[in-house]
Amino acid sequence: DAGITQSPRHKVTETGTPVTLRCHQTENHRYMYWYRQDPGHGLRLIHYSYGVKDTDKGEVSDGYSVSRSKTEDFLLTLESATSSQTSVYFCAISESGEGGYTFGSGTRLTVV
Amino acid sequence: AQSVTQPDIHITVSEGASLELRCNYSYGATPYLFWYVQSPGQGLQLLLKYFSGDTLVQGIKGFEAEFKRSQSSFNLRKPSVHWSDAAEYFCAVAKYNNNDMRFGAGTRLTVKP
């Protein structure tokens, strides 16, 4: 999607290794979000950010941490990946507290 | 916390037929409601949103949705489906500031020629 990119697009990693996913935006939006998508669950919020260095937990935050040192970048880290974290991860941005989100194209993460 | 139920996991309609996708939400106050569409391998795209006012909202690609508070529903409709509408559709509900948007499990739409 225009203005928001996720990297990498695909990653295979081993259980117990750390993994960092990156979300980069060029829209200068205040809010950024990390979701995971799993069959039968829709999308579930992991963490979100409402400004530089301002983050909060979402519905499924255990095992994940985030950082936002710049407006444009929001990093999601799996400190020690587990097979249950195999999923598709989406980043989203929002300009304000209203309006819908703009989503990135996703990162498919496989933990073996 | 707010929640969303999409009762239909998979729906198949013929091209040119009308479409209605169901969405029920649970939230104590007036919700912010959204419909998103996801094509295979892609992220989600916003179709339409409801915050307040007219309960019938128009979106992109010819979609509309109607908010019915008495039924806690926000169903998505389209009068004539095109083959390109085949995708997965997600309903979502949020509180004010929508920093905790909750999504339904999705409805996969198949369009028959």
Domain coordinates in residue numbering, chain B? 3-112
Average pLDDT over residues A42-58: 93
Q: CA A23, CA A35: separation in Å to the nearest integer?
A: 12
The predicted model gives A42-66 an average pLDDT of: 94
pLDDT over 60 at A7, yes or no? yes
Q: Which residues contact B89 (CB under 8 A, 6 or more apart)?
A: B6, B21, B35, B36, B37, B38, B47, B76, B106, B107, B108, B109
Task: Tell me the mean pLDDT in the region A23-28.
Answer: 96
Would you tell me which CATH number, out of the four given (2.40.50.140, 2.60.40.10, 3.10.450.50, 3.30.9.10), belongs to the domain A4-99+106-110?
2.60.40.10
Tell me, yes or no, if B19 comes closer than 8 A to chain A by beta carbon.
no
- B28 falls in which pLDDT band (50, 70, 90)? confident
- Residue A85: which of A22, A32, A18, A9 has the closest Cα? A18
Interchain pair A43, B44: CB under 8 A: yes
Nearest Cα residue in chain B from A4? B43
d(CA A88, CA A106): 6
Does any CB of chain A come closer than 8 Å to the CB of residue B32? yes
Does B102 contact A at CB distance below 8 Å?
A: yes
Residue B96 has pLDDT above 90, yes or no: no
Asked if B32 and A98 come within 8 Å (Cβ–Cβ), the reply is yes
**How confident is residue B94, by pLDDT bands cut at 50, 70 and 90?**
confident
pLDDT at B27: 83
Q: Please state which architecture CATH assigns to domain B3-112.
A: Sandwich (2.60)
Residues A86, A13: Cα–Cα separation, whole Å: 9
Contacts of B1 (CB under 8 A, 6+ apart): A59, B100, B102
Distance from the Cα of B42 to chain A's closest Cα (Å) equals: 5
pLDDT band (50, 70, 90) for residue A31: very high
Model confidence at A97, pLDDT cuts 50, 70, 90, reads low
Q: Which pLDDT band holds residue B41 (cuts at 50, 70, 90)?
A: confident
Average confidence (pLDDT) over B71-90: 97
Pick from B45, B95, B37, B1: nearest CA to A101: B45
User: Is the minimum CB–CB distance between B59 and chain A shorter than 8 Å?
Assistant: no
- Residues A42, B103: C-beta atoms closer than 8 Å: yes
Query: Which pLDDT band, with edges at 50, 70 and 90, does A61 fall under?
Result: very high
Which phi and psi (to 5°) does residue B83 adopt?
A: -55, -30
| Residue B97: pLDDT band with limits 50, 70, 90 | low
- For residues B77-87, give the mean pLDDT: 97
- Please indicate if any CB of chain A lies within 8 Å of the CB of B78: no
